[in-house]
Amino acid sequence: MTTVSERDVQLLRDALGPLRDREQIAERLLDSSAKHSFDPDKELDWEAPAEDGKWFWPPELVSLYDTPLWRKMSEEQRMELSRHEAASLASLGIWFEIILMQLLVRHIYDRPVTSNHVRYALTEIADECRHSMMFGRMIKWSGSPDYPVPRVYHNLARVLKTISTTPGSFASTLLGEEILDWMQRLTFPDERVQTLVRGVTRIHVVEEARHVRYAREELRRQMVTAPRWERELTRLSCGEAARVFSVCFINPRVYENVGLDRHEAVAQVKASGHRAEVMQSGAKRLTDFFDDIGVLNGVGRRLWKRSGLLA
């Protein structure tokens, strides 16, 4: 006979109670989308040139910040690195959003097409389409090349999209959204940063807040109602996704493109206490949530620690 713990009962109540009802939450998110959605092509001045003396990403969030190599770099070279890292993060964001759109389509394929839940998923897909186009346009505006993830991880994502469980899809979604969202919340009010980059991050933060709410509520529900094997696979796949995310976060080619030795730069980033603190701070809200709903149990937790995103 299977026993159910008091924690499981409480989680089930939380997941299925009226305040977390799937249709009610989706209806509120649809209302919010109607009031707070943006058209980046019209909202932002894409014809404005880059501003002299301004960063493309807050210096404290640049990967080499406060390393020995950083202290040797000129201010101009540091700003140039911020331009390339902003393009690298935008490229990573596009990759994640394309994966997310495919996972969302899979999620709603067998669900009632007239439900608020499906309507909101389609609304989010439309948001992600605009975000991906916005990020691509920002890369082109900056004059930086795009930075695709390494081919091995590009192809590994094909496997993820094929075998991902429903809770695994939403866990990976949150991984891709919340850490970048934390950085963007520090970026858009920062007057040291290019005006257009601040505008891009502001739009993304406002609209991603809805996406995060949608994913969190669904993942919480799934981690209670999914069968045990699915929950275990979710923990494993989420831990592996965290490892891939940390490896792909900044493309090492950015260092070569600003005249630095790639291997030396990568080694200093790995050894940087500041960088470790930034990444763990960015992930903390997410890891606290994952811990609360049981995603970080067992081998999943060990994989997260290896990724450097969990202390």
pLDDT, one tens digit for every residue, the chain (311 residues):
445 566 655 555 554 553 357 888 888 988 998 898 899 999 999 999 999 999 999 999 999 999 999 999 999 999 999 999 999 999 999 999 999 999 999 989 989 999 999 999 999 999 999 999 999 999 999 999 999 999 999 998 888 888 888 898 889 889 988 999 999 999 999 999 999 999 999 999 999 999 999 899 889 988 998 999 999 999 998 998 898 899 999 999 999 999 999 999 999 999 999 999 999 999 999 999 999 999 998 888 999 999 999 98
Contact 214, 24 (CB under 8 A): no
Q: What is the pTM of this model?
A: 0.88
Q: What is the pLDDT of residue 300?
A: 86
Q: From CA 289, how far away is CA 295, in angstroms rounded?
A: 9
Angle, helix 166-187 to helix 273-293, in steps of 10 degrees: 140
Closest Cα to residue 131, out of 183, 203, 56? 203
SS3 145: coil
Nearest C-alpha neighbor of 191 from the set 2, 9, 58, 52: 58
C-alpha separations of 284 from 210, 279, 288 in Å: 19, 9, 6
pLDDT at residue number 275: 97
Contact call for residues 67 and 255 (beta carbons, < 8 A): no
- Least Cα distance to 149 among 283, 16, 251, 17 occurs for 251
Q: Which of 200, 192, 7, 167 is nearest to 89 (CA)?
A: 200
**pLDDT at position 15:** 47
Spatial separation of the C-alpha atoms in residues 80 and 170, rounded to whole Å: 35
Q: What is the DSSP letter of 49?
A: P
d(CA 310, CA 291) in angstroms, rounded, equals 11
Q: Could you read off the pLDDT of 155-175 as tens digits, one per residue?
A: 988 888 888 888 988 898 899
Q: What pLDDT, on a 0 to 100 scale, did the predictor assign at position 18?
A: 39
pLDDT in tens, 120-158: 999 999 999 999 999 999 999 999 999 999 999 999 888
| Record: fold of 8-42+59-307 | Ribonucleotide Reductase, subunit A (1.10.620)
Q: Where are the alpha helices (DSSP H) in 143-249?
A: 151-163, 166-187, 195-225, 228-248
- Biggest CA–CA distance in the chain, Å, is 69
